Amino acid sequence: MAGLSPEDRATKDRVPLLSFVVRRLRTRRAPLLPHEGPIDGEQRAGGKSGALRAAIFGANDGLVSNLSLIMGVAGAGVDHSVVILAGVAGLLAGAFSMAAGEYISMRVQREVFERLIHLEAHEIGSDHAAERQELAELYERKGISPELADRLAEELMRDPKVALETHAREELGLDEQGLGSPWAAAGSSFATFAVGAIVRPKGFMTSVSNCDQAGASATGA
């Protein structure tokens, strides 16, 4: 770790723990092995911005939290307009809250990952030979022969950009191009929460309207 600052050395000491956490979060509980099954063309990965995960959480929270709010207010026996107002207020408050939470969460996660990649860049620039040997050992642990692993590491380390991308992926389990976008996560969470939350006030208004019409018909009869 020659040439590293005290802050970099402190971060380096925590790399194994951080890498373990990253891999645990991204690893299936049950190992998946190749097996026969239906094939429908070449698969394409979804977006790496974190927007899909945020959208799913936003929709779920919008449906559940606003329903709970409306049921609680309606249970107090207040006027229908108050229940609808509470539902709209819950929609706005929840959407902004979810968007802010997703932005902060994704921003912090991205900063941590960028710090790890930046430290890896320091190590490659400061001790190129040791990092090449470390990469070769990583490939050996994956079952590649020592000769091929050494030659592969040598080729990958020729280009600094490729070397950094490879070390980030193989050693840290990170993809530099897929660290996530805080703004995309916040926007998708805001939109899907609003869509999920508006279903409940709309349904409530529809049911109230139907009840009023039925009551009016019964009175007229």
Give the model confidence (pLDDT) of 78-131 as tens digits.
Answer: 887 888 888 889 999 999 999 999 999 999 988 988 888 888 888 888 888 999
Contact in structure between 189 and 54 (CB atoms under 8 Å)? yes
Which residue carries 């979810």 as its tokens?
A: 98
Contact in structure between 109 and 216 (CB atoms under 8 Å)? no
In angstroms, the CA 150 to CA 133 distance is 7
pLDDT at 133: 93
Task: Look at the pTM and tell me if it is higher than 0.75.
Answer: no
pLDDT at 204: 61
Amino acid at 93: A
Low-confidence residues of the chain, pLDDT below 70? Answer: 1-5, 7-12, 14-16, 18-33, 35, 39-49, 200-221
In angstroms, the CA 11 to CA 58 distance is 33
In angstroms, the CA 196 to CA 9 distance is 46
In angstroms, the CA 88 to CA 66 distance is 9
pLDDT at 50: 75
pLDDT at 123: 87
Contact in structure between 152 and 136 (CB atoms under 8 Å)? yes
Which residue carries 């040598």 as its tokens?
A: 154
